């Protein structure tokens, strides 16, 4: 049994930077790929009820550029190097990630950091992204699994922010 537990040890290095950022690094030499994933304590539980869905909406808007990066440019940089970039929001966190060939770490990490630290959230992208999020909400409301999960959350967490959908509501998003 002890051999099994030894094999299950976390095969990564973990350290904390002076600014509080926790870094987890794992090298797998057989895979020439880098996955950079930044987790931020900015989930839906931190929103007041009247702002339900704002963390999710901001997660979408982060990728819309900075003063130095035009909307869509980050995606082009990553995709032109064979990578993918995306983000997600939960009740407790939002996370933003890039996966690309290891040779492109610097070329993809720098613009991701720029977006996370200096997001511009341009007015020109606001309505367009609101429509994207509204469609996400509508798709979720057509999904029986999501409906059941949401009903469970509302029942189990009736006095806790977990009761609210991370996506928010159509009513709040259009107001």
Q: How far apart (Å, rounded) are the C-alpha atoms in residues 64 and 129?
A: 9
9 among known catalytic residues: no
Q: How far is CA 58 from each of CA 67, 69, 93, 108, rounded to the nearest angstrom?
A: 17, 17, 12, 21
DSSP state, residue 29:
T
In angstroms, rounded to a whole number, what is the distance separating the alpha carbons of residues 13 and 34?
15
Catalytic residue among 47, 59, 125, 129: 59
H-run or E-run covering 35? strand 33-40
Q: From 146, 134, 141, select the one nearest 174 (Cα to Cα).
A: 134
SS3 15: strand
- How far, in Å, CA of 88 to CA of 152, rounded? 21
Residue numbers annotated as active site = 59
């Amino acid at each position: 049994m002890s051999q099994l537990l030894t094999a299950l040890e976390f095969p990564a290095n973990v350290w904390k930077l002076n600014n509080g950022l926790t870094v987890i690094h794992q090298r797998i030499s057989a895979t020439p790929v880098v996955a950079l994933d930044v987790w931020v304590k900015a989930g839906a539980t931190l929103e007041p009820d009247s702002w339900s869905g704002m963390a999710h909406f901001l997660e979408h808007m982060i990728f819309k550029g900075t003063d130095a990066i035009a909307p869509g440019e980050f995606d082009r940089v990553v995709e032109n190097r064979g990578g993918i970039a995306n983000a997600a929001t939960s009740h407790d966190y939002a996370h933003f990630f890039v996966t690309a060939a290891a040779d492109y770490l610097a070329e993809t990490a720098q613009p991701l950091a720029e977006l996370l630290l200096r997001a511009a959230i341009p007015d020109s992208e606001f309505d367009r992204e609101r429509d994207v999020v509204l469609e996400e909400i509508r798709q979720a409301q057509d999904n029986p699994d999501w409906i059941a999960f949401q009903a469970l959350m509302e029942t189990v967490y009736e006095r806790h922010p977990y009761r609210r959908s991370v996506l928010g509501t159509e009513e709040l998003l259009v107001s």
